[in-house]
Amino acid sequence: MKLKDLEFKKLIPSDRIEKKVASLADQINKDYENKTPVFLPVLNGSFMFASDLLKDITVLCRVSFVKISSYSGTASTGQLKTLIGHDESLFGLDIIIVEDIVDSGLTLQKIMEDLKGRGAKSVEAVALLRKQSAREKNIEVKYVGFELDNEFVLGYGLDYDGLGRNLRDIYKQVLPSSEK
Ligand code: IMP
């Protein structure tokens, strides 16, 4: 499949994604049996994963969407990232961040710090995909769907230049043989 200038091929078909999402939900249902967690899906990429996952969640829960806005700061501070979208108090709440993919882990780290600073009782994360770079940096993600190499993927919420989020399967970029 060609999307703009890049070539992609199917990596994870939708039936495998569906089964994995159901098993992640099972684990969360068990671990949060007597709790009322707040799910915080991180937009935009996690919209499809969050929607499927939450249909399989049976414990009483709340859902509130967040977004990370990144903007260039001054030359000395570099890129700043702020969490926007959830302004209510998180004091004493059990939070589960819902991420599409953890790559460098910077996004997740930033969100976790922010939430812990706001008095959340516990903060865990569920990510459908985790790349090798995050594993090497020991970015802690309690629930992980699929482990990937450091390959660029799209579909099931993930985009390339804004495109491909609607695809039901996950695709990976096919590198030209000179870049392999
Ligand atoms: P991190 O902060 O480097 O972990 O990046 C996390 C965010 O970058 C994800 O939530 C995605 O939106 C985006 N991202 C990282 N890797 C990919 C990819 O392979 N395809 C599409 N988006 C990605």
Q: What is the CATH number of the domain that holds 131?
A: 3.40.50.2020
Tell how far the Cα of 150 is from the centroid of ligand 1, in angstroms. Answer: 11
| Residue 74 belongs to domain spanning | 34-171
**120-151: string of b/e by CB count within 10 Å (b at 16+)?**
beebbbbbbbbbeebbeeebebebbbbebeee
Tell how far the Cα of 82 is from the centroid of ligand 1, in angstroms. Answer: 16
User: Per the domain annotation, does 56 fall within a domain?
Assistant: yes
Q: How many domains does the chain have?
A: 1
Other beta carbons within 10 angstroms of residue 30's beta carbon come to 9
Q: What is d(CA 125, CA 44) in angstroms, rounded to the nearest whole number?
A: 16
Q: Flag residues of the chain having pLDDT under 70.
A: 69-84, 86-87, 178-180
User: Per the domain annotation, does 19 fall within a domain?
Assistant: no
pLDDT, position 2: 93
User: Per the domain annotation, does 59 fall within a domain?
Assistant: yes
HSE (CB half, 13 Å, CA atoms) of 100?
A: 20
103 is catalytic: yes
pLDDT, position 81: 62
pLDDT, position 15: 98
User: Per the domain annotation, does 75 fall within a domain?
Assistant: yes
